[in-house]
Amino acid sequence: MVILDEDRRLKRLKNNFLEAVKGKLIISCQALPNEPLHSSFIMSRMAKAAAEAGASAIRCNSVVDVQAIQGIVDLPIIGLDKVDYPDAPIYITPTIKEMRGIASTGAEVVACDVTGLPRPNGETLAQIVATMRSEYPDTLLMADTASLDDVREANELGFDIIGTTMYGYTPATEGHNIADDDFAYLKEVIKLAKAPVIAEGKIDTPAKVTRVLELGCYSVVVGSIITRPQLIAVPFVEATKGLKK
């Protein structure tokens, strides 16, 4: 039996995931506790529907949702865990506790906030990454970034995948949309990133999916416009308003 050295083994793992999602759609199946579809059972069925539509992978939130989806869908998973802490503004897999929890499910990728904002308990991202590399060497790490500085940090820390997930969702980027100026920000991310870029955040039409892939993104995540019916229905309801009865 040939034992691969660490660099070769990680390259193989990364290639397996990236081969599965290259040029394809990843569907995010998430529902928070205050949303009507919040249920691991429902999210697993949502993931099954996504798989039947041709999704290449699933992005999902919480250990229980990851496990429920793994039980019904044979697709790679990007797992995360949204948790609010009183002493920090970030919430996407914010501490080593949540990182370990998602990794322990066997999810191929663990995604976490990489926005330069303070983490709970005084933890640092560098410490978290080092611990994950030591304890879960078979798990790929995805950086959910919001700025070019975040991308630089993800480069320095050696993240396997860089996402644009948080662009438009931090205090410094609020009001921005990834599609502005023909994806001008995304173009800069692609130039700067040392790892494959997955476009995510407010990509809400098939035309936008096509465009980000044309620009050089490795893959693309779409969520709310596919899997959150309470949002999908709003423009249809709005279309009925103001009409004469």
Helices (H) and strands (E) in the chain, counts: 11, 8
Residue 242 φ/ψ region, left for φ over 0, alpha for ψ in the -120 to 50 degree band, beta for the rest: left
Position 239 in a domain: no
Position 11 in a domain: no
Give the burial class of 143: count Cβ atoms within 10 A of its Cβ; 0-12 exposed, 13-18 middle, 19 or more buried. Answer: buried
Instruction: Provide the residue range defining the domain that includes 63.
Output: 20-224
Average pLDDT value for residue range 121-148 = 96
**Which residues, 6+ apart, have CB-to-CB distance to 233 below 8 Å?**
none
Query: What is the per-residue pLDDT across 142-160, written as a single tens digit (0 to 9) for each?
Result: 999 999 999 999 999 999 9
| pTM recorded for the entire structure | 0.92
Position 13 in a domain: no
The tokens for 168 are 């438009």
pLDDT band at 237 (very low <50, low <70, confident <90, very high): very high
Residue 4 φ/ψ region, left for φ over 0, alpha for ψ in the -120 to 50 degree band, beta for the rest: beta
| Number of domains observed in the structure of the chain | 1
Query: What is the per-residue pLDDT across 194-229, written as a single tens digit (0 to 9) for each?
Result: 999 999 999 999 999 999 999 999 999 999 999 999
Q: Give start and end residues of each alpha helix (H) in 118-221.
A: 125-135, 148-157, 180-192, 206-215
For residue 65, what is the domain's CATH number? Answer: 3.20.20.70
Rounded CA-CA distance 110/113 in Å is 10
By C-alpha distance, which of 214, 221, 245 is closest to 167? 221
